[in-house]
Amino acid sequence: MHFKLRAATKEDCKEISRMILELAVYEKMSDQVKISHEELERDGFCQNPFFECLVAEVHEEDKAKEGFTMVGYALYFYTYSTWKGRSVYLEDLYVMPEFRGKGIGKGLLGKVAEMGKKEQCVRLQLSVLEWNTPSRDFYAAKGALDLTDNEGWHFIRFDGQNLDNLANEAPKD
Amino acid sequence: MANFILRKAEPSDVSDIMRLIKELAKFEEMEEKVVLTEKDLLEDGFGDHPFYHCLVAEVPKVQSPEGYTVIGFAMYYFTYDPWIGKLLYLEDFYVMQEFRGLGIGSQILKVLSETAMKTRCSGMHFIVAENNTKSIEFYKRRGAADLSSAEGWRLFEIEKEDLLKMTAK
């Protein structure tokens, strides 16, 4: 099956939003999706975009049961390590179930690595859920190290009311 | 009581920032992993498209025996969560040992939270080493959630050599 990988355009955001929800369903966290294609359009296609996105498309004749030709995406952005410098962070990588096993996921990952290389990034980071063995195996096969296991790093988050409280205590200029 | 100010880092601060980065790495027992140079910091933080933003904490010269005035810093950048939108990611956060317990760290965290709110971020994320109990307690007291424990997220990394293998045709 032929597929095409290309940079997303603003017009692709509705399809990307559909797939974001599909991935969230797979990760058993669909109730946590709060933004729609509108925020993606605003935040990904402004003067200083907050993320970049690649999409995977198939031909009309190979389209999905429901009629979609956009079958996968990779959403990433650039981060910084005080130890090593420029990094790329792969936030989401998803291929619709019926299109897996055809090299689309590998292709998307490779393209993100290529974008990182262009920007002189020295590493790529991502996070995976503990129970998601297919994904953990996929990345391990590409040389990924589990830093939570090896080095004990934990992800911490401040949000909602807690973030608000902290901010309200900040000194006024 | 320490007299201190928090301000945006300037290009002239890079050697102080570099010194503090190395001190923090030493505290995390990973000093040998710092390969970044002052030149990288300058290019990457103060060029056309900065990869990071930095706040520094400064005290009057008279308060510091070694003569340093920059005694703490926080480096951050903006990331994106396809479920909730913009986030502020706190990459490094450090106050020199002799200046701890004076409210400088708390103040830095508060200013960062305000920045996050002002820029319409849905949250602030960062990582902590699991053996760093003091830092974990500091954050938990302020309402932070440990997503590795609570939701099972694990951080993965692919290093340059393997990245290059993936880009080779």
Q: Within a domain: residue A108?
A: yes
Banded model confidence at residue B169, pLDDT cuts 50, 70, 90: very low
State the pLDDT at residue A105.
92
Q: How far apart are CA B48 and CA B46, in angstroms?
A: 7
Asked if residue A170 has pLDDT above 60, the reply is no
Across the interface, of A77, A114, A160, the residue whose CB is closest to B80 is A77
Q: Indicate whether B101 pLDDT > 50.
A: yes
Q: What is the mean pLDDT of residues B116-120?
A: 87
In the prediction, which pLDDT does B129 show? Answer: 80
Query: Is the per-residue pLDDT at B95 higher than 90?
Result: yes
In a domain, A157, yes or no: no
Is B122 in contact with A121 (Cβ distance < 8 A)? no
Instruction: Confirm whether A11 is domain-assigned.
Output: yes
- B80, B153, B169: which to substitute to probe chain A, counting the most A Cβ within 10 Å? B80
Average pLDDT, chain A: 88
Which range marks the domain in which residue A67 is found?
3-127
DSSP annotation of A171 reads P
Radius of gyration of chain B (CA): 17
Contacts of range A37-42, beta carbons closer than 8 Å, 24 or more positions apart: A37/A13, A38/A13, A39/B85, A40/A13, A40/A16, A40/B82, A41/A10, A41/A13
> Residue B168's pLDDT is what?
56
Percentage of chain B modeled with pLDDT above 70: 92
The number of folded domains in chain A is 1
Contact yes or no for B84/A34 (Cβ under 8 A): yes
Question: Distance of CA B48 to CAs A76, B42, B51, B130, Å?
Answer: 20, 11, 10, 36
Confidence at B2, pLDDT banded by 50, 70, 90: low
Is A173 inside a domain boundary? no
pLDDT level of residue A1 (50, 70, 90 thresholds): confident
**Which of A154-168, B32-46, B122-136 shows the lowest per-residue confidence on average (mean pLDDT)?**
A154-168
Which of B:41-60 have CB within 8 Å of A?
44, 49, 51-52
DSSP state string for A51-107: -EEEEEEE-GGG--TTS-SEEEEEEEEEEEETTTEEEEEEEEEEE-GGGTTSSHHHH
In whole angstroms, give the CA distance from residue B86 to residue A103.
Answer: 30
CA distance A82 to chain B (A): 7
Structure tokens at B161: 């050599």
- pLDDT, tens digit (0-9, with 9 covering 90-100), for A59-94: 888 888 888 899 999 999 999 998 889 999 999 999
Rg over alpha carbons for chain A, rounded to the nearest Å, is 18
Q: How far is B101 from chain A (nearest CA, A)?
A: 17
Nearest C-alpha neighbor of A131 from the set B128, B151, B158, B125:
B151
* A139 assigned to active site: yes
Instruction: List chain A residues with CB under 8 Å of B44.
Output: 80, 85-86
Question: Does A58 map to a domain?
Answer: yes
A149 touches B at CB < 8 Å:
yes
- Cβ-defined contact of A83 to B35 (cutoff 8 Å): yes
pLDDT exceeds cutoff 60 at B55: yes
Report yes or no: A134 at the B interface, CB cutoff 8 Å. Answer: no
| Tens of pLDDT, residues A121-141 | 888 888 888 888 888 898 888
**Residue A78's pLDDT is what?**
95
Average pLDDT of the residues of chain B: 86
Look at residue A136 and tell me if it is in a domain.
Answer: no
Residue B156: which of A80, A16, A136 has the closest Cα? Answer: A136
* B3-20 average pLDDT score: 95
| Rounded-to-integer distance, Cα A98 and Cα A102, Å | 10
Give the chain B residue whose CA is nearest to the CA of A170: B110
A76: domain CATH number is: 3.40.630.30
Shortest Cα distance from A35 to chain B (angstroms)? 5
- Residues of B within 8 A of A29 (CB-CB) are 83, 151
Contact A106, A141 (CB under 8 A): no
Q: Supply the DSSP symbol for A11.
A: G
Higher pLDDT, B161 or A71: A71
Tokens at residue A147, please?
Answer: 């830093």
- Among chain B residues, the shortest Cα distance to A13 is held by B82
pLDDT at A139: 87
Put simply, the answer to whether A91 touches B145 (Cβ < 8 Å) is: no
Prediction ipTM score: 0.77
CATH superfamily placement of domain B5-168: Gcn5-related N-acetyltransferase (GNAT) (3.40.630.30)
- Hey, which residues does B36 pair with through a beta bridge? none
Interchain contact, A146 vs B154, CB within 8 Å: yes
Contact flag A75-B123 (C-beta cutoff 8 Å):
no
In the numeric block, which tokens belong to residue B23?
């001190």
Mean pLDDT of A89-117: 92
